[in-house]
Chains A and B, each alone.
Chain A
Amino acid sequence: MTAPTRTATEAGTALRLEAVRKTYEVGGEEVVALDHADLTVGSDEIVALVGPSGSGKTTLCSIAGGLLSPTDGRVVVAGQDISGYSGKQLTEFRRESVGFVFQTVNLVPFLTARENLLVVDELGPRTGRKAKDRADQLLEELGLSDRAANLPGQLSGGQKQRVAIGRALMNEPDLVLFDEPTSALDSTLGDQVVRLIREEMKSRGTAAIIVTHDDRITHYADRTVHISDGRIEA
């Protein structure tokens, strides 16, 4: 993959979607999941993406994170235009430039909290000691130092979500995508996790998109973007 060149105008932008369209073929008919979506997220901005089920939130998030390729339009993440990337290039891009926190926590069940963070490093060219130091530092910041050697099955829901946040931050991403991060948590825990997300993102100057149904989350976001029927509402 050629090293991306960041232009001056893109220096303060973590994500730019330009007229992004995503369609699927279902039963011989074209279904539009995302229709000419334009969105810009600043380099340390937290955007809450709100919309009803099937509105295209997940598709937008997947395209922004390089999980899906757009049918049309341009996707630029931290200066890299990933619209035309091959599967292999997208894999590398995800490994190096974005972080994900999924709705169902999805930690590797047979790895300890610390190893779940290190797995990101193990999947790519290893950095060894540097990665270990970073994992330890993240666990400490997330208040999980004493849980580093625990398997996910030995952690509470909130602790698991914090490990997932740590994993998303391991590769020092430009953009972190949160898919309904509080849906499996009670309101107190959910509130704590969202506050933690804000603190972590702001302290690092990392951009985030939080897909949510939860109105409480929008209070912690810098901006709320509504999406409906695949269109971003102004």
Chain B
Amino acid sequence: MKLALRELRRRPGRFAVATVILTLIALLLMFLGGLLDGLEASSTGALRAQRADVIVYSSTSQDSLVRSRLEPAVREQVAGIVGDERVGGLGSVQLGGRLEGRGVRDLVPVVLFGYELALTGLPEEVPARGQVYADEALRAEGIEEGTTIRLGPARTPVEVIGFLDDSQYSGQGTLWGSLDTWREVLDANRPGERAGAGVVQALVVRDDPARSGDLASAIDGATDGATSSLSIDAAIEALPGVSQQRSTFNQIIGVTVLVAIVVVALFFALLTVERTSLYGVLKAVGASSGTLFAGVVLQSVVVTLIASAVGAAASVALDAAIPAGSLPFVATPSRLLTSVAVMLVAAVVGCAFSLRRVLKVEPAAAIGGAQ
């Protein structure tokens, strides 16, 4: 082990090429992961921000917020299970927002949500009619507290009274107002989608701690199949494109990991071939194959750790350098740590290809007696 570390310290040039390539791979891995996380965050923030356990759609909606409509009668049935104070209506509409001082066609795409149950980062009280909280991402558009945004073709004005973080939806910034504000904006701009009094697109439900059993099943049972209730996580998965996007990115990440394994395997296989006579001598003076192979693994792990550290630092720097809202990239500690762990596994797996070669070195080769 000491021998392997000394070689790394005294002959860093030998490992430079592998370190540079692995650094680029680590950076690519973290960048892809960061993009995936960023894209997911910008698609799912509105649901993740819900302080609720279950989201209820109409059964005919195919779990789509836009297609879902729930009548007040359904709401009463749901309230019968957990109590009215644990049920909140939710409505949404995607519109272009106009800002003062910007061109007529220079619209800011936003999703206006009407809500009742407070989200993470928002006060319990729902804002007054015509007032909204805005997602932090909209600051990049120059929106501040007090800004009036004119929504849709009807240019319905809403005033921003505060901000909340990480609540984007479908890659767009969100505005959060009362259900009345939502209905007013919807009526004015999407008359065909008008929602009647008490009608909402979905319900968010907080479970009653005193209750037992699966809440989603209980709700769907109580509404006699008129609803399709999903946990927040399941609702996120049901968002269009989220799981497909994740699977595509994960496949690319998988291929990148394979490349990392191949790089480690080739590099250390070459190094092992180069060291055949040295290993012969070391085995002759009493080194076991296990000790020598452990040295190879240790070197691979150290090189990978250095590469991963540089990759992680570059990812964090990139995250800090990207202006908010320009690129959906986030460098989260969990993503960085997972990437490092994956790289380390690749390092060990890659080394395994050298094991046979290390085992095959005959100590007698040192003295020219191997046949």
Contact A110 B11 (CB under 8 A): yes
Contact B285 A62 (CB under 8 A): no
The answer to the question of B147 belonging to the interface, with a C-beta cut-off of 8 Å to chain A, is no
Please provide the chain B residues from 55 to 101 with a CB less than 8 Å away from any CB of chain A in the complex: none
Complexed CA–CA distance, A116 and B3 (Å):
10
Interchain nearest-CB distance for A83 vs B (Å):
16
Contact B278 A67 (CB under 8 A): no
Complexed CA–CA distance, A106 and B364 (Å):
13
Complexed CA–CA distance, A59 and B370 (Å):
8
The answer to the question of B211 belonging to the interface, with a C-beta cut-off of 8 Å to chain A, is no
The answer to the question of B283 belonging to the interface, with a C-beta cut-off of 8 Å to chain A, is yes
Contact B286 A62 (CB under 8 A): no
Q: Tell me which residues across on chain A come within 8 A of B371, comparing CB atoms.
A: 24, 26, 33
The answer to the question of A119 belonging to the interface, with a C-beta cut-off of 8 Å to chain B, is yes
Contact with B along A3-25 (1 / 0, CB 8 A): 00000000000000000000010
Contact B368 A58 (CB under 8 A): yes
The answer to the question of A96 belonging to the interface, with a C-beta cut-off of 8 Å to chain B, is yes
Given known contacts A59-B369, A123-B291, A179-B367, is B285 in contact with A94 (CB within 8 Å)?
yes
Contact B286 A96 (CB under 8 A): yes
Please provide the chain B residues from 326 to 369 with a CB less than 8 Å away from any CB of chain A in the complex: 362-364, 366-369
The answer to the question of B277 belonging to the interface, with a C-beta cut-off of 8 Å to chain A, is yes
Taking a contact as CB atoms closer than 8 A, the residue among A61, A110, A167 that contacts B285 in the complex is A167
Contact A119 B285 (CB under 8 A): yes
Which residue of B is nearest A93, CB measured?
Answer: B286
Q: Tell me which residues across on chain B come within 8 A of A92, comparing CB atoms.
A: 286
The answer to the question of A115 belonging to the interface, with a C-beta cut-off of 8 Å to chain B, is yes
Contact A95 B285 (CB under 8 A): yes
Please provide the chain A residues from 57 to 109 with a CB less than 8 Å away from any CB of chain B in the complex: 58-59, 61-62, 65, 67-68, 88, 91-92, 94-96, 100, 102-103, 106, 108-109
Contact A115 B284 (CB under 8 A): no
The answer to the question of B2 belonging to the interface, with a C-beta cut-off of 8 Å to chain A, is yes
Given known contacts A91-B287, A106-B277, A111-B6, is B366 in contact with A68 (CB within 8 Å)?
no
The answer to the question of B288 belonging to the interface, with a C-beta cut-off of 8 Å to chain A, is yes
Q: Tell me which residues across on chain B come within 8 A of A119, comparing CB atoms.
A: 3, 282, 285
Interchain nearest-CB distance for B296 vs A (Å):
15
Contact A67 B368 (CB under 8 A): no
Taking a contact as CB atoms closer than 8 A, the residue among A33, A110, A171 that contacts B6 in the complex is A110
Complexed CA–CA distance, A24 and B371 (Å):
7
Taking a contact as CB atoms closer than 8 A, the residue among B6, B11, B363 that contacts A115 in the complex is B6
Interchain nearest-CB distance for B234 vs A (Å):
55
The answer to the question of A197 belonging to the interface, with a C-beta cut-off of 8 Å to chain B, is no
Which residue of B is nearest A120, CB measured?
Answer: B285
The answer to the question of B7 belonging to the interface, with a C-beta cut-off of 8 Å to chain A, is yes
Contact A122 B366 (CB under 8 A): no
Complexed CA–CA distance, A179 and B278 (Å):
16
Interchain nearest-CB distance for A87 vs B (Å):
8
Which residue of A is nearest B1, CB measured?
Answer: A122
Please provide the chain A residues from 5 to 56 with a CB less than 8 Å away from any CB of chain B in the complex: 24, 26, 33
Complexed CA–CA distance, A68 and B370 (Å):
8
Contact A106 B281 (CB under 8 A): yes
The answer to the question of B10 belonging to the interface, with a C-beta cut-off of 8 Å to chain A, is yes
The answer to the question of A143 belonging to the interface, with a C-beta cut-off of 8 Å to chain B, is no
Contact A103 B283 (CB under 8 A): no
Q: Tell me which residues across on chain B come within 8 A of A109, comparing CB atoms.
A: 278
Residue with the greatest number of chain B CB neighbours at <10 A, chosen from A62, A100, A122:
A62
Contact B286 A95 (CB under 8 A): yes
Taking a contact as CB atoms closer than 8 A, the residue among A61, A110, A167 that contacts B10 in the complex is A110
Complexed CA–CA distance, A67 and B371 (Å):
12
Taking a contact as CB atoms closer than 8 A, the residue among B10, B277, B282, B364 that contacts A67 in the complex is B364
Residue with the greatest number of chain A CB neighbours at <10 A, chosen from B281, B282, B283:
B281
Taking a contact as CB atoms closer than 8 A, the residue among A26, A100, A102, A122 that contacts B3 in the complex is A122
Complexed CA–CA distance, A94 and B362 (Å):
13
Q: Tell me which residues across on chain A come within 8 A of B369, comparing CB atoms.
A: 58-59, 61-62, 67-68
22 residue pairs bridging A and B, Cβ less than 8 Å apart:
A26-B371, A62-B364, A65-B284, A67-B284, A67-B363, A67-B364, A68-B369, A91-B288, A94-B286, A100-B285, A100-B366, A102-B284, A102-B367, A106-B277, A106-B366, A108-B278, A115-B6, A122-B3, A123-B282, A123-B288, A177-B367, A179-B367
Q: Which 8 A-B pairs have the closest CB atoms?
A: A95-B286, A62-B369, A67-B364, A106-B281, A110-B10, A58-B369, A24-B371, A123-B287
